[in-house]
Amino acid sequence: MVKAQQKKVHRIGYLSVRDPAVESSRAAAIRSALRELGYIEGQNIAFEYRYGEGKRERFAEIAADLVRLNVDVIIVAGGDAMVRAAMNATKIIPIIMSGGGADPVTTGAIQSLSSPGGNVTGLTNLTGELGGKRLELSKKSFPL
């Protein structure tokens, strides 16, 4: 008798500085992008949402809660304080920054932009810090 193979359901921890109402469009966009890649909520992925609701004193508690649930990855929708809370909660589970916050090298979240090291990676805005480099690349790409 052949047993059907059970597909692993990957558990994604979602940490947000904000509340569910404000965060709903960003969370929906992430779910949509994952769906385009074949990850369907309820079939092969499951989300565990935790919201700080703007209360810094809750960040460590909700990050630790996701670690206790043994999620496969943590997406951080928020700035430096929430990334730091996730980093303090785990050195093993991958943490993905989804934008916002200061330079992650300066804050110590990563070692460098080219080699983050540790368990933190993702996107950051770095608007001011990378402005000159963006202008330089634009000039090289589209010379006048």
Query: What are the structural domain ranges in the chain?
Result: 10-141
* Cβ(95)–Cβ(35) below 8 Å: no
Q: Region 117-139: what's the mean pLDDT? A: 73
Q: In the structure, what pLDDT confidence band is assigned to residue 73 with cuts at 50, 70 and 90?
A: very high
Q: What is the pLDDT of residue 7?
A: 77
- Three-point CA angle 129, 110, 69, nearest 5°: 130
CATH class assigned to 10-141: alpha beta
**Share of residues in the chain with pLDDT > 90 (%):** 56
**Share of residues in the chain with pLDDT > 70 (%):** 87
Q: What is the DSSP string of 27-71?
A: HHHHHHHHHHTT--BTTTEEEEEEE-TT-HHHHHHHHHHHHHTT-
What's the mean per-residue pLDDT of the chain? 87
* Cβ(51)–Cβ(33) below 8 Å: no
* 118 or 114: which leads in pLDDT: 118
pLDDT tens sequence across 96-109: 998 777 788 888 88
Residue 1 has pLDDT above 60, yes or no: no
Residue 42 has pLDDT above 70, yes or no: yes
Rounded CA separation 36/46 (Å)? 16
Residue 3 has pLDDT above 60, yes or no: no
